[in-house]
Amino acid sequence: MQVDVNLAACEGHGLCAQVSPGIYEVDDEGYVRMRVYEITPDLEPAAAAGARVCPVAALTVVK
C-alpha cells in the first residue's frame, strides 16, 4: 500500500498526525510529511486511518 500525498492541497490541519502520529507529522513549514519510508502491512491500518481524516482529501490510499 502507498499513500499519495497532494502537497498542493495540504493545509496543515494536522488531523492525520493526530490520528496516526507514527505515520504522519506536520513539518516546520506546516505541511504533512511521512515518518516512514515504506508502509509495511502492519502499518497499513494506521496509514489508512490517518489518510481518511484529512479534511481536504490531500491524502489518498493507493493499493
Q: How far is the CB of 2 from another protein (least distance, A)?
A: 19
Q: Which is nearer to another protein, 14 or 46 (CB)?
A: 14
* Structure-block grid coordinates of residue 14: 494536522
Residue in 56, 7, 45 with CA at minimum distance from that of residue 23? 45
Q: Which is nearer to another protein, 28 or 38 (CB)?
A: 28
Write out the residues near another protein by the rule CB under 8 A. 8-9, 11-15, 18-19, 26, 29-31, 52-53, 55-57
Q: Report whether 32 contacts 26 (CB < 8 A).
A: yes
Residue in 29, 28, 27, 30 with CA at minimum distance from that of residue 12? 30
Q: How far is the CB of 52 from another protein (least distance, A)?
A: 6
